[in-house]
Amino acid sequence: MATGFEVSREGSLATITIQLPGKVNKINAEFGRGLADAWAQTAGATGVLVVSGHKDFCVGADLDMIHAQTDPAAVLELVRSLDQLLRMIETSGVPVACVLAGSALGGGFELALACHHRVVVDDPRVTLGLPEINLGVIPGAGGTQRLPRVIGIQAALDLLLQGKLVRGNKAVAAGLAHQSARTAEDAVLLAKAWLEQAKPRSDAAKQPWDRSGYVWPGISPQGADARNTFMAASAMIYKKTAGAFPAAEAMLSVVQEGSRLAFDGAVDVEARAFARLATSGQAKDMMRTFWYHRTAAERHEGLPPAPRDAGIRKVAVLGAGMMGAGLAGICAQAGYEVVLRDVAAPALEAGMAHVVKGIGERLKHKSPEERSVVISRVKASSDIADLDGTDLVIEAVFENAELKHRVIREVEARLGPSAIFASNTSALPITGLAEASVRPEQFIGLHFFSPVEQMPLLEIIRGAKTSEQTIARCLAFTRAIQKLPILVNDGYGFFTTRVFSAYILEGAQCVAEGWDPVLVDWAARVAGMVVPPLQVFDEVTLRLGDHALSQAEAYRPGIAGLPGAQLVKALVGAGRIGRAHGAGFYEYVDGRRGGIWSGVAALCAPRVSTPAPVEQVRMLGERLLLAQVAETLRAWDEGIVTRPQDADVGAVFGIGFAPNTGGPLAYVDRRGAAEVLDRLQSLAAGHGARFAPAPGFVKFVEAGRRFYA
């Protein structure tokens, strides 16, 4: 028997228990051989039950194996062998059931789909699905063909194209499982009961698509409804991805093509597409950032070890705006006692309303009593005495150094000797703010991103005197509130704000030079950016951008005089402050974005009309990416960010840098550092010093180095 697979007998029923070495079951070459060997050991059984000896059923493919593969032919051979094994099992004439007592993801769920009967534990912690698109690939073991045949084309596309996961308590209603049970033991009993009544070589031992007279659930792939569905999905994909994510287009293509073929041919269509995508540079870079580096950040690898008890029980949030209220809510949800302080009563009232609404939405699966307990942990107050006994203060007041200094002095006087003071400033140097502190070693930057309830990243900024113990305690807090940390050194704008500011400023700069604003935003989408620069400028407000550019002038002389910065100032002067105020680069009607404001052109240079539109899009998109790459390289050269993975995780998860590239430094490696250097030097000559390559990067290229092996 292969390691990790055990076959037991109970009368005429056989049970295959999958328990690979380690903590989880992952699909690799050994998995296929082990499953084939285990299946052979079930010969003569009238029914087979597949269960996991680990907490989860199977978490999918071993990414180490996939990430290392560069030969499409070798990958195709791997997936075809697994496809053949799954087809052998599901067409053997023996009824097969599986128990999903833990999560079944990717290839693990594809194995479950190949079983004739699925019983899931009714638990929201159990998740089922095919999330491969989030790593730049598609399912490779029949998932794109089985799922539409199980739940219908429309429902399957909704899950496949977004990589959605379905919780165990909703799996039966979604059609992903046949039965649910309260416990794993009950699930086994249900599965065995089904096997007892299922007859070998009966319809119960066949997949629906292998039975005569099979009718697709929902719409038929041969009809007009299917054609309309695929056309609408194609338009939706292009609107969402602008063609920057080939996996989405491949997913739709294999579902459509496969739906019109016999099942074995359909699975082979998927296998060929998977092999092509899995060996692409884009998939490799996305896997590295979205899996390896994100997982390392979640585990705090390479960071000061967080203590078991950080001594943080009570958290105070200063400022009851959207950010402060959001922070109060997630801290309360993590079990902390929270004081939400503001000097303005209307702000406190609005802040508490935000807390109540947010907790209600996030904990909607809980009882009203449980939600009330969480809400009761937050106290809205203008009384500074309520801060007594606070272990961690998070300051989220307006971006003004004098105001922040005043708040620091006032609040620190109320704090105990071990309390930490953290600033949520997005740009002001932590070392400068700590000058107002009597304990600069316990002063730190915790830069959250808006909306804080949804954005995963937390940028932790080490001031000149911040102690390792303070960092470690804040990392424990980070884990408690389930945020993804990167640790950076101090300097104006730290890392993420510098890169984000370079992006939106370059968008405004392009418009000021006479480029069509619509073209500028579209070029960013085509390059892979999550949100276009002018749209996101409106979201953060042009007034805040103008204020930030004025502040930045002290650190980057000349930046406030750029035509793009002057355009922003002119828009603010015209009362066009941003989306929240109903007017910015775009027009807004009842909060809904319309077209670009017609008056923008009058504030800019004459409209540029050459080169051809396709080339304009390519050129502008490259420029918007390289503006961020140049700033990333400067931050790296200056020691603000010291690890390439922190730069890529921070840029992708914090500011939406083109996920299709894996991040700015992954982009440099994939394109080639020498070519990037050449383009930056060319752009610097044509557009200014903001594109000038960092001195350290020039040496980096001369040495023939890469950021990743």
CA dist., res. 301 & res. 35, Å (int) = 34
3-class DSSP assignment, residue 459: strand
Is 587 exposed, middle or buried, given 0-12, 13-18 or 19+ CB atoms closer than 10 A?
Answer: middle
State the DSSP H helix or E strand holding residue 381, giving kind and residue range, or none if neither: strand 378-381
CB 248 within 8 A of CB 120: no
Active site residue 402: no
CA dist., res. 167 & res. 153, Å (int) = 20
Rounded to 5 degrees, φ, ψ at 619 are -65, -45
CA dist., res. 302 & res. 130, Å (int) = 31
Q: Where are the beta strands (DSSP E) in 41-158?
A: 47-52, 96-100, 104-105, 117-121, 127-129
Buried b / exposed e over 185-203, threshold 16 CB at 10 Å, is: ebbbebbbebbeebeeeee
Which of these is catalytic: 132, 459, 506, 631?
132
Three-state secondary structure readout of 149-185: HHHCHHHHHHHHCCCCEEEHHHCCCCCCCCEEECCHH
Active site residue 132: yes
Instruction: Identify the sign of the CA torsion 570, 575, 580, 582.
Output: negative
Which of these is catalytic: 90, 110, 459, 631?
110
> CA-based angle 19:25:30, to the nearest 5?
85
Structure tokens at 611: 């080169």
The residue length of the chain stands at: 709
List C-alpha distances in Å: 623 to 238, 419, 505, 691.
22, 45, 12, 9
Q: CB count, 10 Å around CB of 403? A: 12
Q: CB count, 10 Å around CB of 428? A: 19
Distance of CA 674 to the CA centre of its chain: 30
CA dist., res. 354 & res. 328, Å (int) = 10
For the chain, the distance separating the N- and C-terminal CA atoms, rounded to the nearest angstrom, is 37
State the DSSP H helix or E strand holding residue 408, giving kind and residue range, or none if neither: helix 401-412
Q: Could you list the active site residues?
A: 110, 132
